[in-house]
């Protein structure tokens, strides 16, 4: 018999994946804390694409804004990113007010131009900066609405796209401690394996990664697939319903007889398939004819036959470089790969060469040309094409892709000169992309090549030494530099000797060998002086003086350091060396910081930050941000300090210097520990250990030992603490790092004090204070001395130490130390019987401590409050702790009786429905509209709460005044406060002029606040005042503004449960619930589905200027039976899509085939059903239990939820789908009924 096309000619439905989909959807619960990278992996044919389609649908149902892009082999660099940006631009232009979207649109257009290779007005950007701008755009876009990027087949993408996605994965989905900014969204990518998802990027520790490995579907999934209408129809077509053929299909006999793509192909068809498979992407029909030699009817017949057998397809694509051209491509990737793999190696190579020379002659698509010539082993032609393509890719910042071409070209190089040139280029590529391990390997290959040619090139040796230093491999770098110095001395090369001394000095300094570093730097400067008459290299002198300045600063000679750095700043500025100017600013900032001149330090670091950012110098940018974090920490602005440290992490990631990443990780760990976050500090220390090199710099090792000692002390492991701290002190003293030695000594004194060894603590503190430590260290030592002396009974000494600490804290503007000093003075005063002074000191301490605590990030305030000294302050001040809050009973609804006639006969604009439930709502609207009562509209998403607000306003005495609407859930706290109340000029960064808030705009009219259950505690307080006093202040303002406005609130949240949980203020709740209007979900008014659908179809037709479509009986039945979890909004969206593609004027059930959930759905248990007598057993149960119908319904509800949770094995998302309801609502019901989820 003639065998039809294979069964998989159409894409299979996504079945049997409920568990995997539930895991994906569960990530939405954590979006307010961090984004998540989701890797979907599995072999070819496992169903990754159909899974992504279903995931996209479900995410959109849950209010997530999604963008989909697909990768294919052979596409030009960044093509999937370009398609993503195009879709994003379309969405931005479709939504929101132009003024609100203008900035996002402008940035998206600029990025699109850059990724497409068009000239950018911003000038040259390094590739990492380009990726960061894309990441920031996505962060900003996701602030208004959760966002999901879905990337199909990342494993076959070009290297640039793979690197971009890897970067986005690291930056957007890092854990909060490492994140440079919050991303409320998902990044979902498919590939064969998890390694393929990451590409060649080195994933940073701390990334929030969810790996979903797709395997074969289970029995239930297979059953669902085989019994779907589409598959049943296909099986019937294959077997004609003949049992023997069905048995053959099941036993795989028929499957083994199904043809491969080539088995039935004619000679011409085979040529088409082989050429297409080798080309690897859609190909214009005209080009296909040129390359295969087929013309006219011969070509069209071959294409038509293959299209008819559903092996290839026609499509309009711009992938071939001819926008709008008719292109030919395989329908399935599996067939394409099968044809390609069936080709003999020689034939495959010849086809690649043919394609490559064709592209070369056309002088288009350098990447594809080089790729095919390399695959075709075209020798020197392939090498030249690869070099051209790589150079172009470097300009476009596609370093990995450029590196691939250089590496592949090296395999076909025939002479050493070309090999040397390619190795230099490849080494530079790896260095620029911060892949230091590969850069070092390539430099070693270069040296090996030079050795075969004779004496190694000094330039290559110096390059290798610099790379080793940058990687933190100091020992290997010193060996290389020592050998290079020997060669330079032998040859009398003064400039090379000076360069070697500069690198040696920096390496020795980083490794803690201060004396040797100074000697090397001074020798280098002497050589520079000798070189003067031959033309000194300015960058060499700058480097040497920079190292000497750091050495002077480390030795405490601030004036010498300042002189050296200032001279560097002058020289660099005159020479126009921006990066060197930035480095000098950083070093001057360090000098000012050492002198406790914090204002000057901040000015230098800020100038350095701006200069570094302007030229994409991420090393210096990271240093500036890290030191700005130190300054913020010293002035106790902890939130700003953490933010700066996290930004520094982002900058150091771009550089790839693991030592610097470990360094800033230790800074973050210390800050967390200072704030009582022992768990966070421990996690960050562990991360720093992973990031550190095998031989980290000595300063990093000392800092780590001090931090480990403090953590051990916090865990009461006193022996371990003493060992760590003693080791830190020993290392610091041996390397003359007096500041770090002092810190270790202070911690050892603190440890002795906690072990009740006051004598040892006092001795250590005396030695430390006599060594003249810097201001901050002296201040901490004085505070500890106060405690030691108090415990020893030396009140006078304790008082003297506390007074000195208080004065020093004032000089250093250190509020944390200030309140501690006040507290210690109060303790001494109380012990001496001076209660009046004690009370005054306690009040001062509590006031200052409260101010400090407000600068602590919210997530750390609880830990800070439990620090022992703060607990002691509260106890001494007699502060009462807040009592536990018990949930209020849900109040009796303050609703208007809906039994009377409506006050007005005016139609309700946009509100359709004759169901008694909606008619009761409309009656309530009529009655409440004539009052100024506060109204709370409740109902699920999509039920029409905004329409009810419109109706109330239109029927009120305020109808001629404005109705202002605000979606509170779409704005973060700071933006919402500014949006509601306005702000004064200068209230915050970016507030360049006064802004009038929505409450002022609504004066005399009505303001509608939607999603009121999603506002922060701070906004709740502000709203409470407006409700109580009808006045407010603009953000940053002091003048109270009166307002005459009616407020309508709306929510889909369970406010009563939120009050019980403590996430919503009880007093605000009672204020806003004045009159409540409850909107029924669409499933509870199923009789209104048909009139609503008719209404929407008419409105859609009017918008499109077309004749309205109607619904036949089958469509009405289909729509009425569905539960509509998205309510009226979902109904409208479905009708908009279906009516656009339907050809007939009357829509039938078949027109809704793209929505299979409609066909298999039944309305939920609460849906309206035709009136009939209650089932006997149900009614009997109700009567026998002696409960009301209301209570019986609750019992049934609880029982159904319990069963759904059992079936879903405790997965709330899956259970919600089984019950046909939203996950948040189910979570609320689970809490109300006190059910367990596991």
Task: Note the pLDDT of residue 974.
Answer: 61
Phi, psi of 4 (to 5 degrees): -75, 180
Phi, psi of 327 (to 5 degrees): -115, 155
Q: Per residue in 76-116, pLDDT tens?
A: 678 888 888 887 877 776 554 444 456 677 777 777 777 76
Beta bridge partners of 41: 191, 213
* pLDDT greater than 50 at residue 775: yes
Average pLDDT estimate for 1155-1176: 48
Task: Note the pLDDT of residue 942.
Answer: 84
Domains contained in the chain, number? 6
Q: Are residues 1100 and 1067 in the same domain?
A: no
Residue with more model confidence, 851 or 325: 851
Place of tokens 């949006």: 979
Q: Per residue in 779-790, pLDDT tens?
A: 999 999 999 998
* pLDDT greater than 90 at residue 560: yes
How does residue 902 score in pLDDT terms, banded at 50, 70 and 90? very low
**For residues 753 and 763, is the Cβ–Cβ distance under 8 A?**
no
Q: Are residues 1091 and 1075 in the same domain?
A: no
Helix (H) or strand (E) holding 733: helix 718-734
**459-468, 516-525, 882-891: which has the minimum mean pLDDT?**
882-891
**42-51, 563-572, 582-591, 945-954: which has the minimum mean pLDDT?**
42-51
Task: Note the pLDDT of residue 895.
Answer: 37
List Cβ neighbours of 40 (8 Å cut-off, separation of 6 or more): 48, 51, 52, 188, 189, 190, 191, 212, 214
- Residue 425, CB-side half-sphere exposure with 13 Å CA sphere: 27
How does residue 318 score in pLDDT terms, banded at 50, 70 and 90? very low
Radius of gyration of the chain (CA): 36
Task: Note the pLDDT of residue 1041.
Answer: 85
Q: Are residues 1052 and 1143 in the same domain?
A: no
Degrees to nearest 5, angle at CA 404 with 86 and 39: 55
d(CA 997, CA 1026): 13
> What percentage of the chain exceeds 70 in pLDDT?
82
Task: Note the pLDDT of residue 907.
Answer: 62
Picking from 1080, 1111, 1138, the residue at the C-terminal end of a domain is 1080
Based on the number of CB atoms within 10 Å of its own CB, is 73 exposed (0-12), middle (13-18) or buried (19 or more)?
A: middle
> What percentage of the chain exceeds 90 in pLDDT?
19
How does residue 170 score in pLDDT terms, banded at 50, 70 and 90? confident
Task: Note the pLDDT of residue 894.
Answer: 38
In a domain, 117, yes or no: yes
Q: Are residues 1056 and 983 in the same domain?
A: yes
In a domain, 748, yes or no: no
How does residue 381 score in pLDDT terms, banded at 50, 70 and 90? very high
The residue segments making up the domain with residue 1209 are 1176-1233
Sheet holding 963-967, edge to edge: 963-967, 1006-1010, 1046-1051, 935-938, 1075-1078
- For residue 1180, give the CATH number of its domain: 1.10.10
How far are the Cα atoms of 1166, 1204, 1231 from residue 1198, in angstroms, in the given order?
A: 13, 10, 11
Q: Are residues 937 and 1045 in the same domain?
A: yes
How far are the Cα atoms of 314, 934, 971, 1052, 1059 from residue 1069, in angstroms, in the given order?
A: 60, 12, 21, 14, 8
**For residues 150 and 67, is the Cβ–Cβ distance under 8 A?**
yes
- For residue 520, give the CATH number of its domain: 1.25.40.10
How does residue 989 score in pLDDT terms, banded at 50, 70 and 90? very low
Map residue 1016 onto helix, strand or coil: coil
Residue with more model confidence, 1125 or 952: 952
The rounded Cα 665 to chain-centroid distance in angstroms is 19
Residue with more model confidence, 331 or 201: 331
Task: Note the pLDDT of residue 530.
Answer: 81
For the chain, the average pLDDT equals 79
**117-121, 153-157, 605-609, 711-715: which has the minimum mean pLDDT?**
117-121
d(CA 781, CA 743): 9
Picking from 610, 627, 659, the residue at the C-terminal end of a domain is 610
Neighbours of 94 (CB within 10 A): 8
In a domain, 153, yes or no: yes
In a domain, 1019, yes or no: yes
d(CA 108, CA 136): 11
In a domain, 231, yes or no: no
**For residues 693 and 715, is the Cβ–Cβ distance under 8 A?**
no
Average pLDDT estimate for 654-678: 78
Map residue 547 onto helix, strand or coil: helix
**What's 1178-1191 look like in SS3?**
HHHHHHHHCCCHHH
Map residue 215 onto helix, strand or coil: coil
In a domain, 2, yes or no: no
Q: Per residue in 1048-1095, pLDDT tens?
A: 999 988 888 888 777 788 888 888 877 889 999 998 888 888 889 989
Average pLDDT estimate for 379-396: 82
Q: Are residues 1071 and 1116 in the same domain?
A: no
Q: Are residues 468 and 482 in the same domain?
A: yes
**For residues 822 and 844, is the Cβ–Cβ distance under 8 A?**
yes
* pLDDT greater than 90 at residue 914: no
Based on the number of CB atoms within 10 Å of its own CB, is 417 exposed (0-12), middle (13-18) or buried (19 or more)?
A: exposed
**For residues 819 and 844, is the Cβ–Cβ distance under 8 A?**
yes
d(CA 882, CA 364): 72
d(CA 543, CA 472): 18
Beta bridge partners of 540: none
**389-403, 931-945, 1102-1116: which has the minimum mean pLDDT?**
389-403
Helix ranges (H only) for 62-153 are 79-94, 98-115, 127-144
Q: Are residues 871 and 1015 in the same domain?
A: no
Picking from 1062, 1080, 1098, the residue at the C-terminal end of a domain is 1080
Q: Are residues 1118 and 1068 in the same domain?
A: no
Task: Note the pLDDT of residue 412.
Answer: 93
**What's 776-792 look like in SS3?**
HHHHHHHHHHHHHHHHC
**Angle in degrees, 0-180, between the axes of helices 775-791 and 758-770, rounded to the nearest 10:** 150
Q: Are residues 1096 and 1205 in the same domain?
A: no
* pLDDT greater than 60 at residue 1117: yes
In a domain, 249, yes or no: no
Q: Which DSSP category does 716 fall into?
A: T
* pLDDT greater than 90 at residue 729: yes
For residue 255, which of 241, 268, 238 has the smallest C-alpha distance?
Answer: 238
How does residue 1160 score in pLDDT terms, banded at 50, 70 and 90? low
Q: Are residues 163 and 118 in the same domain?
A: yes
Please tell me which of 556-560, 868-872, 1150-1154 the model is most confident about, judged by mean pLDDT: 556-560
In a domain, 865, yes or no: yes
Q: Are residues 1142 and 1201 in the same domain?
A: no
């Amino acid at each position: 018999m003639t065998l039809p096309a294979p069964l998989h000619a159409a894409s299979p439905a996504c079945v049997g994946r409920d568990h995997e989909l539930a895991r994906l959807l569960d990530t939405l619960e954590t979006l307010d804390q961090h984004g998540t990278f989701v890797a979907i992996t599995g072999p070819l044919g496992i169903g990754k694409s159909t899974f992504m389609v279903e995931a996209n649908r479900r995410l959109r149902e849950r209010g997530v804004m999604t963008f989909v892009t697909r990768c294919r082999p052979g596409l030009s660099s960044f093509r999937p990113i370009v398609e993503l940006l195009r879709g994003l631009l379309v969405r931005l232009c479709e939504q929101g007010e132009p003024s609100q979207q203008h900035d996002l649109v402008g940035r998206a257009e600029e990025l699109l131009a850059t990724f497409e290779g068009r000239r950018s007005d911003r000038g040259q950007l390094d590739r990492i900066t380009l990726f960061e701008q894309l990441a920031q755009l996505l962060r900003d876009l996701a602030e208004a609405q959760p966002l999901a990027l879905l990337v199909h087949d990342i494993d076959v993408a070009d290297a640039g796209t793979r690197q971009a996605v890897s970067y986005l994965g690291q930056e957007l989905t890092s854990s909060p401690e490492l994140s440079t900014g919050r991303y409320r969204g998902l990044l979902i990518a498919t590939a064969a394996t998890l390694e393929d998802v990451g590409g060649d990027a080195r994933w940073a520790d701390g990334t929030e990664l969810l790996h979903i490995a797709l395997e074969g579907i289970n029995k239930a999934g297979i059953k669902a697939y085989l019994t779907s209408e589409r598959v049943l129809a296909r099986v019937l077509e294959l077997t004609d319903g003949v049992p023997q053929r069905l048995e053959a299909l099941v036993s795989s006999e028929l499957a083994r007889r199904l043809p491969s793509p080539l088995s039935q192909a004619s000679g011409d068809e085979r040529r088409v398939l082989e050429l297409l498979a080798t080309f690897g992407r859609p190909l214009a029909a005209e080009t296909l004819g040129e390359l295969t030699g087929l013309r006219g009817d011969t070509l069209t017949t071959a294409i038509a036959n293959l299209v008819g057998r559903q092996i290839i397809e026609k499509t309009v694509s711009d992938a071939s470089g001819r926008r709008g051209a008719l292109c030919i491509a395989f329908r399935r990737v599996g067939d394409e790969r099968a044809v390609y793999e069936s080709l003999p190696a020689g034939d495959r190579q010849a086809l690649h060469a043919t394609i490559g020379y064709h592209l070369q002659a056309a002088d288009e698509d350098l990447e594809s040309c080089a790729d095919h010539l390399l695959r075709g082993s075209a020798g020197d032609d392939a090498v030249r094409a690869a070099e051209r393509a790589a150079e172009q890719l470097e300009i476009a910042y596609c370093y990995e892709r450029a590196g691939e071409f250089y590496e592949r070209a090296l395999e076909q190089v025939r002479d050493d000169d070309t090999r040397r040139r390619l190795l230099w280029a490849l080494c530079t590529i790896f260095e620029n992309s911060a892949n230091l391990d590969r850069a070092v390997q390539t430099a070693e290959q270069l040296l090996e090549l030079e050795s075969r040619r004779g004496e190694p090139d000094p330039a290559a040796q110096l390059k290798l030494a610099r790379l080793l230093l940058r990687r933190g491999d100091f020992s290997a770098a010193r060996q290389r530099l020592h050998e290079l110095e020997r060669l330079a001395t032998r040859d009398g090369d003064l400039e090379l000797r000076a360069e070697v001394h500069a690198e040696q000095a920096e390496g020795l300094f980083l490794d803690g060998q201060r004396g040797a570093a100074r000697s090397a730097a001074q020798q280098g400067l002497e050589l520079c002086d000798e070189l003067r008459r031959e033309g000194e290299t300015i960058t060499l002198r700058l480097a040497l003086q920079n190292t000497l300045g750091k050495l002077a600063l480390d030795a405490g000679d601030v004036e010498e350091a300042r002189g050296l750095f200032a001279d560097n700043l002058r020289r660099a500025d005159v020479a126009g060396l921006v990066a060197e100017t930035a480095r000098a600013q950083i070093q001057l900032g360090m000098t000012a910081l050492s002198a406790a001149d914090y204002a000057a330090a901040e000015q230098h670091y800020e100038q350095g930050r701006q200069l570094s950012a302007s030229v994409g110098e991420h090393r210096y940018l990271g240093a500036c941000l890290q030191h700005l974090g130190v300054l913020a920490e010293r002035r106790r602005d902890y939130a700003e300090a953490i933010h700066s440290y996290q930004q520094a992490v982002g900058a150091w990631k771009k550089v790839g210097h693991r030592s610097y990443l470990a360094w800033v990780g230790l800074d973050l760990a210390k800050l967390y520990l200072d704030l009582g976050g022992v768990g966070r500090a421990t996690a960050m220390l562990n991360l720093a250990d992973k990031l550190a090199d095998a031989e980290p710099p000595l300063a990093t090792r000392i800092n780590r030992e001090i931090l480990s000692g403090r953590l051990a002390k916090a865990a009461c492991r006193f022996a371990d603490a003493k060992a760590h701290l003693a080791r830190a002190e020993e290392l610091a003293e041996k390397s003359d790092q007096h500041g770090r030695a002092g810190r270790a000594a202070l911690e050892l004194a603190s440890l002795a004090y906690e072990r009740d060894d006051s004598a040892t603590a006092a001795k250590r503190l005396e030695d430390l204070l006599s060594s003249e430590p810097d201001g901050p260290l002296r201040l901490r030592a004085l505070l500890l001395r106060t405690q030691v002396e108090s415990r020893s009974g030396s009140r006078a000494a304790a008082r003297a130490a506390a007074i000195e600490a208080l004065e020093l804290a004032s000089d250093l503007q250190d509020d944390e130390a200030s309140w501690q000093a006040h507290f210690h003075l109060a303790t001494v005063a109380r012990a001496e019987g001076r209660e009046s002074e004690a009370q005054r000191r306690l009040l001062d301490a509590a006031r200052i401590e409260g101010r400090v605590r407000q600068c602590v990030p919210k997530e750390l305030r609880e830990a800070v409050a439990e620090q022992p000294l703060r607990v002691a302050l509260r106890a001494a001040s007699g502060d009462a702790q807040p009592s536990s809050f018990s949930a209020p009973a849900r109040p009796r609804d303050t609703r208007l009786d809906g039994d009377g006639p409506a006050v007005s006969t005016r139609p309700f604009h946009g509100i359709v429905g004759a169901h008694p439930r909606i008619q009761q709502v409309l009656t309530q609207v009529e009655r409440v509209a004539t009052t100024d009562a506060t109204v709370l509209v409740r109902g699920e998403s999509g039920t029409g709460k905004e329409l009810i607000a419109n109706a109330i306003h239109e029927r009120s005495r305020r109808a001629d005044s404005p109705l202002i609407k605000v979606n509170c859930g779409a704005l973060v706290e700071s933006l919402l406060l500014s949006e509601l109340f306005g702000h004064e000029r200068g209230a915050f960064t970016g507030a360049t002029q006064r802004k009038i808030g929505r409450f002022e705009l609504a004066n005399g009219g009505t303001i509608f606040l939607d999603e009121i259950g999603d506002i922060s505690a701070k906004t709740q307080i502000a709203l409470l005042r407006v409700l109580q006093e009808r006045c407010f202040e603009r953000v940053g303002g002091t003048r109270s503004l009166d307002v005459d406005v009616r407020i309508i609130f709306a929510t889909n949240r369970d406010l009563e449960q939120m009050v019980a949980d403590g996430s919503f203020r009880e007093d605000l709740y009672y204020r806003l619930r004045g009159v409540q209007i409850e909107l029924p979900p669409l499933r509870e008014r199923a009789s209104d589905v048909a009139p609503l659908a008719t209404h929407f179809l008419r409105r859609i037709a009017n918008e499109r200027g077309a004749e309205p479509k109607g619904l036949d009986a089958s469509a009405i039945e289909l729509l009425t039976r569905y539960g509509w979890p998205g309510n009226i909004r979902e109904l409208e969206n479905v009708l908009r899509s279906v009516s656009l593609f339907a050809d007939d004027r009357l829509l039938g059930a078949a027109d809704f085939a793209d929505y299979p959930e409609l066909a298999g759905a039944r309305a939920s248990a609460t849906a309206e059903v035709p009136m009939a007598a209650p089932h006997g057993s149900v009614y009997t149960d109700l009567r026998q239990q002696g409960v009301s119908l209301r209570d019986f319904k609750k019992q049934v509800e609880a029982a159904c939820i319990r069963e759904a949770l059992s079936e879903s094995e405790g997965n709330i998302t899956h259970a919600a789908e089984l019950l046909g309801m939203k996950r948040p609502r189910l979570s609320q019901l689970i809490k109300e009924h006190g059910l367990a989820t596991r």
